[in-house]
Amino acid sequence: MGSTARQMSDAGDGFMFDREVETMSRAGIQGLQTERLKWSLARAYDNVPHFKRKFDEAGVKPGHLKTLKDIKHFPFTVKTDLRDNYPFGMFASPQSELRRVHGSSGTTGKPTIVGYTQGDLDRWAGLVARSMAAGGARPGDLVHNAYGYGLFTGGLGAHYGAERLGCVVVPVSGGGTERQVILLQDFGARILCSTPSYALNIAEVARKMGVDLTTLPLERAFFGAEPWSDAMRGELERQLGLRAIDIYGLSEIMGPGVACECDSVQVGLHGWEDNFLFEIIDPETLEPLPMGESGELVITTLTKEALPMIRYRTRDITRLTDEPCACGRSHVRILRVTGRDDDMLIIRGVNIYPSQVESVLVSVPNLAPHYQIILRHDGMMDTMGVDVEIAPDIPCADSDLTALAGEVRQRIKAIIGVTCAVVAKRPGELPRSEGKAVRVLDQRKKI
């Protein structure tokens, strides 16, 4: 498969899964969105008591929407709305019309449960296929899918999307990392799907097994489900010998494939506007922000039957751009999601996202790309500790670890502007991820 796959990996081949929709004019997209938005608002209002109550309280009816801008009069939906209506209270379809449920565990309490009709599943597979094609996957490719299968949308979402594109899926799921390495070697997959943190774990285990992943046919990876910095992209591309494509999504809206980078420029992820309406709001005032400004991403579904979502506050902080993309796709781009507003740390008055710490760490020589941020409450204020790990095969006497920790502390102070306690650990001492990495350990409540 190597040579054909390599020829097709050239971004210049112009392949698109849904060319007509992907290259539609802006006016065409907006017309389609308006028509679909009216349908989606009516579906939510007529079938979900929660939406009817919220719309009534806000004094709006689906019929009030005349243009896309009118969306600003409709109420937001937040994660706790799903929790409060656990498990199926937000569904707009009767159980007889559902074909699957998924869930997202979150950090506390009950999971949020989401549902799909057959039509929803078909559209989802189509959007993941479109995303993977945009990122350079091609029919016939072998796809090693290491996203977890189960309630999490990553595994089955990537699985059916890759099949829809015409790929051959190896449904490995997460975990059993040595076996992952053996299968990558034996089957020669061209595409890897996993969280970025799990891919690092796979690369590390491969090295210990004496396998150099950069010599395998692996050429592309679809990384998502957690924030990862551009610095980490470089590290992943180097360690795995592939091109790393960013794929975004969330279960409340669908799962993976809400947006994906194209192969051409890797600046921003095309958000599939025929199925979703994207807004950026100021998370404080809740007012919509103009194109290009940074704020919280809010998404309204336009085609979802089982679980229409109206103005869902993702908590993800990003920007939109409608500048034309070199690939020819006309859909708006969502700039890389570098953090969630509920992940933002305020340490001695400085706002910090874990991904900023990640970017600093990746630039420090002799450091493995594994880390954990620990928040403590010390006296009157919050403090941040960062646990890092020395790279393998580097001398690691106590004095080496102390020197490394000192260097990391200095760089964080110089670049982010905050003083933190850094502990350097020996290889393998920090926990490894098999799915979404736990980057922040909050010990503040326990003290």
Long-range interactions of 239-243: CB distance < 8 A, separation 24+: 239/200, 239/203, 239/213, 239/214, 240/192, 240/199, 240/202, 240/203, 240/213, 240/214, 241/213, 241/214, 241/215, 241/216, 242/192, 242/218, 243/9, 243/136, 243/219
SS3 content of the chain, % helix, strand, coil (to 5): 35, 25, 40
Contacts of 130 (CB under 8 A, 6+ apart): 16, 17, 18, 22, 257, 260, 272
Could you say whether residue 301 binds ligand DLL (CB under 6 A)? no
Q: What is the DSSP string of 382-395?
A: EEEEEEEEEPTTS-
- Please tell me whether residue 320 binds ligand DLL under the rule CB under 6 A: no
Footprint of ligand DLL on residues 214-233 (CB under 6 A)?
A: 224-227
**62 or 257: CB nearest ligand DLL:** 257
Q: Which residue, 199 or 401, has its beta carbon nearer to ligand DLL? A: 199
Taking CB under 6 A as the criterion, the residue among 82, 113, 162, 337 binding ligand DLL is 337
Which residue has 């020996």 as its token pair?
426
Give the nearer residue to ligand DLL in terms of CB position, either 132 or 211.
132
If one asks whether residue 103 binds ligand DLL (CB under 6 A), the answer comes out as: no
Binding of ligand DLL by 123 (CB under 6 A):
no
> Half-sphere exposure (CA, 13 Å, Cβ side) for 212?
3
DSSP 73: G
Q: Where are the alpha helices (DSSP H) in 118-212?
A: 118-134, 153-165, 177-187, 196-208
261 binds ligand DLL (CB under 6 A): no
Tokens of 128: 């993941």
Instruction: Report which residue's Cβ sits closest to ligand DLL.
Output: 224
Is 340 a binding residue for ligand DLL by CB under 6 A? The answer is yes
Of 62 and 224, the one with the shorter C-beta distance to ligand DLL is: 224
Residue 363 in contact with residue 388, Cβ under 8 Å?
A: no
Q: Toward ligand DLL, which CB reaches closer, 261 or 425?
A: 261
Among 239, 251, 303, 356, binds ligand DLL (CB under 6 A): 251
Of 419, 414, 415, 387, the closest CA to residue 401 belongs to 387
For 82, 236, 356, 411, the CA distances from 362, given in Å and listed in that order, are 37, 11, 10, 11
Q: Which of 77, 177, 314, 330 binds ligand DLL (CB under 6 A)?
A: 314
Question: Is residue 271 part of the contact set for ligand DLL (CB under 6 A)?
Answer: no
Q: Does 197 bind ligand DLL (CB under 6 A)?
A: no
Could you tell me the smallest distance in angstroms from the CB atom of residue 200 to ligand DLL? Answer: 15
The single-letter code of the amino acid at 290 is P
Helices and strands counted in the chain (H then E): 12, 21
Q: Does 246 bind ligand DLL (CB under 6 A)?
A: yes
Give, as ranges, the residues between 378 and 407 that touch ligand DLL (CB under 6 A).
Answer: none
Helix residue ranges per DSSP H, 9-117? 19-22, 26-47, 49-58, 79-84
Rounded Cα gap, residues 118 and 93, in angstroms: 11
Shortest spacing between CB 296 and ligand DLL, in angstroms? 11
Site string for ligand DLL, 138-177 (x = CB under 6 A): ---------x----xxx-----------------------
Alpha-carbon radius of gyration of the chain: 22
CB nearer ligand DLL, residue 135 or residue 227: 227
Query: Distance between CA atoms of 413 and 420, rounded to whole angstroms?
Result: 8
Rounded least distance, CB 233 to ligand DLL, Å: 11
User: Which of residues 102 and 425 has its CB atom nearest to ligand DLL in the complex?
Assistant: 102
The reply on whether position 255 binds ligand DLL by CB under 6 A is yes
Q: Give how many residues touch ligand DLL by CB under 6 A.
A: 21
Rounded to a whole number of angstroms, the minimum distance from the CB of residue 318 to ligand DLL is 9
What does the alpha-carbon distance between residue 154 and residue 225 come to, in Å, rounded to a whole number? Answer: 7
Q: From 19-27, 58-66, 248-256, 393-401, give the range in contact with ligand DLL by CB under 6 A.
A: 248-256
What DSSP character marks residue 111?
P
Smallest distance from ligand DLL to CB 416, Å: 19
Interface with ligand DLL (CB under 6 A), residue from 148, 249, 271, 308 = 249
Q: Taking CB under 6 A as the rule, does residue 272 contact ligand DLL?
A: no
CB of 55 or CB of 223, closer to ligand DLL: 223
8 Å CB contact between 148 and 154? yes
**276 strand-pairing partners:** 301
Site membership for ligand DLL, residue 318 (CB under 6 A)? no
> Interface with ligand DLL includes 134 (CB under 6 A)?
no
Q: DSSP letter for 278, please.
A: E
Does the footprint of ligand DLL cover residue 124 (CB under 6 A)? no
Q: Is residue 433 a contact point for ligand DLL (CB under 6 A)?
A: no
Contacts with ligand DLL, residue ranges (CB under 6 A): 104, 147, 152-154, 224-227, 246-251, 255-256, 314, 316, 337, 340
